[in-house]
Amino acid sequence: MGVKFKLTKKDLKGIINVKKIIPTKDGITDTVYILDNKYILKIFHNSSKKDLKNEIKLLKLLKKYKVSKPISKSLTICNKPALLYKKCIGQSIKKPKKKDIKQIGKFLKKFHNLTKNKLSNNKKIFKKQYLKKLVIKTKNKSLLDKYKKIDIKLKNNGIIHGDLFPDNSIFYHGKLSCVIDFNQACNGDFIFDLAVIAFSWCKSNNDIKILLKSYNLNISLKKFKKYIFYASLYYTTTRYLRKI
């Protein structure tokens, strides 16, 4: 999350009265501000109001879990769809430790238990056919060669987060207090969802084993690394496309 354009109190007139507007520094996709250290305002650059309604619906399903809490319906700010959330206590972590990996693995398991066989109206952006289109669009031979090496068949287990990087989790005093950014949540493969965490949180095979144990997934490291390869290729491709 980050800031794409400057926001003033005038832009928020009639929406919410605040004294302090603080722009965030992290992220690459959307505009995010902290308001009075109580609220998070997220302005979306690549999502529609329909996408936001889907996110609100999912977060209502997850209301008993440690997830972001929207406190508004979809808004329009500076001609862009936006949402207002209650600010989570704590901050995201830069270098996850083993205890953090254990906690996020347990969270994802609970999340998947709740969303298993549930249907999302969001586009299935993590499926192989979609990735193929993205890779072809890059015209990058290295990425095309890597795509040809994919050796997994993705399933449709239920709703996945799909983007659970360390900056989309909030910790307070060493404990997971909130998981955020469900805008891309859609139907997909649960193991892929776990693999996103593996390649972005884990620095060693031991870290990966800790993650698998916390999630309670019985899979060989060799097979799981095929999913990690896919997750890594997906995000390498999407980030490459943002730069060209």
Each residue's pLDDT tens digit, 143-160: 999 999 999 999 999 999
Which residue stretches of 139-220 are H helix?
Answer: 141-148, 190-201, 205-215
Q: Which ranges in the chain are annotated with CATH 3.30.200.20?
A: 9-86
Q: Name the segment(s) of the chain with CATH classification 3.90.1200.10.
A: 98-243
The CA angle 201-42-72, to the nearest 5 degrees, is: 120
The predicted structure's pLDDT at residue 179: 98
Q: Is CATH 3.30.200.20 the classification given to domain 9-86?
A: yes
pTM of the prediction?
A: 0.94
Q: What is the pLDDT averaged over residues 86-98?
A: 95
pLDDT at 1: 45
Phi-psi region of 13 (alpha: psi -120 to 50; beta: other; left: phi over 0): beta
Q: What is the mean pLDDT of residues 63-67?
A: 95
Q: Which residues contact 209 (CB under 8 A, 6 or more apart)?
A: 221
- Summarize pLDDT for 185-235 with one digit per residue, the tens: 999 999 999 999 999 999 999 999 999 999 999 999 999 999 999 999 999
CATH of region 98-243: 3.90.1200.10
Q: Cα(197)–Cα(213) distance, rounded to whole angstroms?
A: 13
